[in-house]
Amino acid sequence: MLLGNFLIGLREGLEAALVVSILIAYLVKTGNRRALLPVWTGIGAAVVLACGFGIALSAASSEMQFKTQELFGGVLSIVAVGLVTWMVFWMRKTARFMKAELEGRLEGALDVGPLALAAVAFLAVGREGLETALFLWTNISNSSGGSTQPITGAFLGLAVAVALGYLLYRGGLKINLRRFFTWTGAALIVVAAGVFGYGFHDLQEAEVFPGLHAVALEPHAFFAKFGGAGDWMQTVFQGVLNVTPQITWLQLIMWAAYLVPVMVLFLRNPSPSKPAPAKATEPAPTS
């Protein structure tokens, strides 16, 4: 789980860091430093909202009975995968236009006032924060109890993202963002496939779907053949693919049903955008 949550924290955190750096750089470049305070206020409020959302999910889940908790976790896992999948494809399509779009919104907000500036920053960062909080919560809640690796991986990913965002802002680092988001998007799809399958496993434990004891694969039994090294290999396998020690047939089918078509669509070369057809010129009226 450490590697999977590191990837989530890195990718989602870098998206938020890019948004912040674009907003701050635009205000500094245009001589509107006085507007930095409401922008930072909006960013801070978005971070607080994301943290509060994660805490609320944990508190609500802890008060539930076992079956209700599994139902809650399974549904949220599937919702989180849907949001992250949309985000991955959206970022792949619109990353090159993000700077111009954010600067346009900020320019309009400058004419309105401080509240509009705070709202632009809050909405831009808040969406990333809520998606990150939901996906990390589902990943951490599905991990083995008492393990700090998922939380450690998430914080490491976010810390690296903040450092990269600062270096990008200062101009001390050049990254091919298109390639970066392609590779991390593909890795995140693999992680999301595990969460998707795990969500259906939770729904089986909640008795929404049958087949909880119809086990298709037992990775822990396979890796046990390798002795002491098997524990490390199993940890890496489960951390990368985000799967359980015992994989039911429904979980395996849903894992493959998500991973294969989504990965094929994501790696397929995007079709070049066609220019808008020019309007036909009407003939001038004759006298």
Dump the DSSP string for 58-118: HHHHHTS-HHHHHHHHHHHHHHHHHHHHHHHHHHHHHHHHHHHHHHHHHHHHHHH-HHHHH
Distance separating alpha carbons of residues 250 and 240, to the nearest angstrom? 20
Per-residue model confidence (pLDDT) at position 260: 95
Q: How far is CA 13 from the centre of its chain?
A: 9
| Closest C-alpha to 202, from 85, 79, 86 | 79
Domain membership flag for residue 167: yes
Its pTM stands at 0.74
Q: Is residue 278 part of a domain?
A: no
- Whether residue 13 is contained in a domain is answered as yes
pLDDT at 144: 56
Residue 287: inside a domain: no
- Residue 13 CA to residue 192 CA, distance in Å, equals 17
pLDDT of residue 242: 66
pLDDT for position 269: 62
Residue 161 covered by a domain: yes
Given this model, what pLDDT does residue 252 score? 93
In a domain, 282, yes or no: no
**What range defines the domain where residue 221 resides?**
1-267
Structure tokens at 45: 């409020």
pLDDT on residue 265: 92
* Residue type for position 143: S
273 lies in some domain:
no
Distance of CA 220 to the CA centre of its chain: 28
- In this prediction, residue 280 carries a pLDDT of 43
Q: What is the pLDDT of residue 152?
A: 82
* Total number of domains in the chain: 1
Angle at 188 between CA 257 and CA 265, to 5 degrees: 50
Radius of gyration for the chain, computed over Cα atoms and rounded to the nearest angstrom: 22
Identity (one letter) of the amino acid at 177?
L
Q: Can you give the pLDDT of all 287 residues of the chain as single tens digits?
A: 566 778 778 887 888 888 888 888 888 888 888 888 988 999 999 999 999 998 898 888 887 888 888 899 899 989 989 988 988 888 777 766 777 777 787 888 877 888 888 888 898 888 888 888 888 888 777 665 555 777 788 888 889 888 888 887 777 567 777 777 788 888 889 888 988 998 999 999 999 999 989 988 887 777 777 777 777 777 767 666 667 778 899 999 999 999 999 999 998 865 544 444 444 444 444 44
Has residue 281 been placed in a domain?
A: no
* Count of CB atoms situated within 10 Å of the CB of 112: 11
